[in-house]
A and B are shown apart, each in its own frame.
Chain A
Amino acid sequence: MIVADRKPLDEIFGFIKGYRKVLILGCGECVTVCQVGGEKEVAVLAQSLRLKAKVEGLALEFMEKTVRRVCEPEFIAPVLSDLEGVDAIVSLACGVGVNICVDRECRLPVFPGVNTTFMGSTREHGVWEERCAGCGECVLHLTGGICPVARCAKSIMNGPCGGTDRGMCEISTPQRPVECAWALIVERAKKLGTLEDLKTILAAKDWSLAKDGGPRRRVREDLRIARIETQENQK
């Protein structure tokens, strides 16, 4: 799941205070699960903004809508075609959501209501942790299923480094304990009986497959549907 944090209210309010009617747009997938952008949080943000507008003495109107999955053109199209009187959108979907609105040629400004942070999972109710960095070349088979790219502060391929301390990373604070990914990898290898394998030095990672190589695109030609040439298209 993609995890996000809500932006501070002041920041969101700064985006929209010059408008009259604002749509708060939620998404029914990842951001619902991580309790930042589902139908409930849309209502909470709308209510917060109403109060803020009242305190600031501004006449702002808010509309609330949550779609199944903002990142799908078919789900977002009906919302974008029915924006009577709306002059700005605040998206509580992940960053993809804001982009897709613009991709669909939304004529209105679309503002992010959340900071999209990571791909992760629920540790417990109310706690989410990063587990994947989308590096483009998975090494989990070499590390006992524990990702050094996402979970090691330095993303090093051959650890642990000198900053490991009784299983914890040196960047840990009492407020933010961070486990040492390489300590976890070693413990895991002990359990799997593969400790010897860790003696093999892993080669430097090809970061061009990750974000460093530019925006990524995936194509499966077998799935693409042949475009039917109609008279309209030929013109």
Chain B
Amino acid sequence: MVEILPCATCGAHCPVHTDTRSYVDLIARGRYEEAFERIRERNPFPSVCGLICHHPCEQSCRRGDVDEPVALRHLKRFAVEQASEYRKRLRKLAILRSEKKVGIVGAGPAGLTAAADVIREGFGVTVYEAHSTPGGLLAHAIPRYRLPLEILQEDLDDLLALGVKVSTGVRVGQDISLQQLCQRHDAVVLATGLSLSRSLPLEHGEHPDVHLALPFLQSAATGVGQDIRERVVVIGGGNVAVDVARTAIRLGAKSVSMVCLENEEEMPAWDWECQEALEEGIAFLYRRGPVAVTIEQGRIVGLVTRQVQRVFDEQGSFSPLYLDDVRETIPCQMVIIAVGQEADLSFVREEDGLNKDSSGRLVFDHGRMSASRDGVFACGEVVTGPGSAIEAVASGHRAARAVIAFLNTGNGLLLDAEEIHELSPLPSSLIDRVKKTSRTRMPVLDAQIRRRNFDPFELGFKEEEALREARRCLSCAAGARVDEAKCVACLACLRVCPFGVPEVKDVACMASEMCQACGLCAAECPALAISITRFSPGDLRRRVSDLLGNTNSSGYKVEFRCMQDVYTREDLMDRWIQDKGEMKAVVMVPCAALVDEVDMMKPFEWDAASVVVRHCSGCRYEGAEDRIQKRLARTKLLLEEAGVGKDLLTLEGPKEEPAE
């Protein structure tokens, strides 16, 4: 029987299924470059996502049931920052192995993801971009305080290094027709996003001080001067509206209010962004529907609103009802409408052979990622509707699969519906048994300072903060697995498990939704039938052998050190150090309770003079300290029996290393 391992919730909820748990574990061990590689396996925009991802991984993090979710986005950013030089060395040109070429319209995250996937398969790719630089809305609309251009550029540089050609300043439909594009390429991918802001039928809405969100954000993001008025009202309750409001305050507005149809709970904007906006002095006016802009002497003086009775009907569909006579005028001099975006499909001409539906949207087969003309595919917001950057990336990957199959076989590919075997929620019986740790706060610029500039407001984790936070991960679905052929159902695992995970019938069964991957059972199993997914079996003995195999000396000390109290990468690595004039080999372990009798005895066979097991200041696993002490006492007796002497093995507590 093939064992299907469940996917940790963080990875399951990530649109590209980043192996989140795994990169967090690598960070916790100080292996930042490997963490970066793990992140980038499925996400060509690691820098961008480290700053602006809406992090569904965090929303689904099972530590959230215990205290607060692990700060996964911040950890991603940390790994990416640590690997900034390393990633440059990874850049290399993709090898083309086909004459076939793909044209991609739109250099946003969806289009560029598809481009990267396709070129890696050996097909030539040209991306056509109407703006003068690639990046889509990431480059042209996301405010710089959230995403500085140089951060975006890191991701773009990786992609461009593959050999993806980007023709900027080319507007398909004007500079080149879609028909011509189809003739020039063997496949075409439309990834044009949602580039038009929706407007509202407001009375006096045509006034020059009434703006639409995207042009407003674009001119701010690209540094084009923007006249801002003292009092600004933003219409909308989504994330773009929050971006607009926070941009307006940074441009110098004295007061900015957001007028939303919804109440606080119904508002679609992410609550953390609303909180940040509140800190910056943005006011939220809920349940107000805009009616008209009031003009006096040619200038805007207010926005007339009416009270919203409800936004959604009983079925949950958008169907607002208003109390027409409950009106309020909000004084303002400028109004910005941020009520959604739509696709600009004006470039599609009749002769292009692409069908649109009755609402003017592209006719699109989601199963095949294809438009109505053979060889034309689409991805990103133009077909998925509004979403986040990582959702666009996921869509880009999917389109690339369809395109690659088409280029290889000449046929479309019906893509499987995604099936993820997601880990179940943390059982309520376990919640109180997991040690609580508070989430590490991201240092941010003070709201009073940041509201006046476009500097990135999140300052990034320092190493100690990142390590502390990474160690909060519960290592979901990376715990104990039983080799059923070896298990003798002795019940040792059941008796030592601090979380009541094992269930033993014919053999031990480890419920993956409960296991906290502490490894206590594996170290205790008399049949060596248990392995812990996050620790590769034999890894510790191999590392000891690697370290001690490099020395011809004898009389050195070996220290097994718990990594929980260690806060620099340098100290997380296995290494030789000088300690009070004697050589010491330090071997880092995730928990001192994982060091077994053989591990403690082995160094003496290799001429070590003494062995220390150094535990941390407070084990997160109940009962582990007792296990460490008992096992150490037994090993002392074993060493005495062997004639080595029991005093050469000691258990010590955490202490500062004198660095030499």
Contacts and interface: CB of A to CB of B under 8 A. Distances in A.
Interface of A: 8-10, 28-29, 32-33, 35, 38-41, 43-44, 47-52, 54-56, 66, 122, 124-125
Nearest to A125: B495
B389 interface: no
B488 interface: yes
Interface stretch (B35-43, B368-376, B524-532): B524-532
Contact of B527 (A8, A32, A54, A55): A32
B526 A51 contact: no
A35 B495 CA distance: 14
A122 B504 CA distance: 15
B611 to A, nearest CB: 12
Chain A contact residues, majority secondary structure: helix
A55 B643 contact: yes
B: interface residue count bin: 20 to 34
Given A35-B492, A51-B644, A28 B527 contact: yes
A48 B637 CA distance: 10
Given A40-B526, A44-B598, 11 more contacts: A9-B638, A28-B488, A32-B527, A38-B488, A40-B525, A47-B601, A51-B604, A51-B642, A51-B644, A52-B641, A125-B495
B637 to A, nearest CB: 10
B488 A50 contact: no
Interface in B563-603: 596-598, 601-602
Interface of B: 486, 488, 490-492, 495-496, 525-528, 596-598, 601-602, 604-605, 638-639, 641-644
Contacts of A44: 597-598, 601, 638
Contacts of B490: 32-33, 35, 38
Given A38-B488, A51-B644, A125-B492, A33 B601 contact: no
Nearest to B485: A68
Nearest to A38: B526
Contact of A50 (B486, B605, B639): B605
Contacts of A66: 527
Given A39-B486, A47-B598, A9 B527 contact: no
A33 to B, nearest CB: 4
Contacts of B601: 44, 47-48, 51
A10 B642 CA distance: 8
B598 to A, nearest CB: 5
Q: Which 9 A-B residue pairs are closest in the complex by CB-CB distance? A: A51-B642, A55-B643, A38-B526, A9-B641, A33-B490, A125-B495, A52-B642, A39-B528, A47-B598
Given A44-B638, A51-B639, A125-B492, A28 B602 contact: no
Contacts of A48: 601, 638, 641-642
B638 A55 contact: no
A32 B525 CA distance: 9
Nearest to B645: A55
Nearest to B642: A51
A203 B638 CA distance: 48
Nearest to A42: B528
B496 A125 contact: yes
Contacts of B525: 40
B165 to A, nearest CB: 59
Nearest to A46: B598
Contacts of B488: 28-29, 32-33, 38
9 contacts: A33-B491, A38-B488, A40-B528, A43-B528, A44-B598, A48-B641, A51-B643, A52-B641, A54-B605
Contacts of A43: 528, 598
A43 B601 CA distance: 11
A55 B526 contact: no
A146 to B, nearest CB: 23
Contact of A35 (B526, B528, B641): B526
